[in-house]
Amino acid sequence: MVNPLVIDPWIWKNPGPLRVGDRVRMQFGVEQVEATVVEDRGNLGEGGKRIYGVRFRLDDVSDEMTMERVVDELTLVARAPEPAPDARRKKRPRE
């Protein structure tokens, strides 16, 4: 996953329809493949369309591939689970 402190703050303030970790379906050649959203690149596409970085594998023996796709080419399959709340321990006062 990408460090949120490195990502453009505009993307965090203006989220798109997909989140990092979502499972999506897209056309790759003649077949439909399932991929995972790994990066939200922002509105960089033609006419300001949202661009997402996706990672997928064609079969069990091929390497993973990463590419960028316009939001219109992606169909949501499953949402990423919500992150767990930060369960930090409270410091005990020194005695």
DSSP 66-86: EEEEEGGGEEEEEPPPPPPP-
Asked if the structure places residue 94 within a domain, the reply is no
User: Is-contact 44 13, C-beta < 8 A?
Assistant: no
Boundaries of domain holding 34: 9-78
Task: Give domain status of residue 14, yes or no.
Answer: yes
pLDDT of residue 90: 59
Tens digit of each residue's pLDDT (9 = 90 or more) over 18-48: 988 999 999 999 989 999 999 988 888 788 8
Residue 47 lies in a domain: yes
Q: Decide if pLDDT at 1 tops 80.
A: no
Residue 93 included in any domain: no
Q: Which of 2-11, 59-68, 77-86 has the highest mean pLDDT?
A: 59-68
Mean pLDDT, range 66-83, rounded to an integer: 90
Total domain count, the chain = 1
Taking phi first (over 0 means left), then psi (-120 to 50 degrees means alpha), and beta for anything else, what does residue 20 get?
beta
* pTM of the model as a whole: 0.74
pLDDT of 87 strictly over 80? no
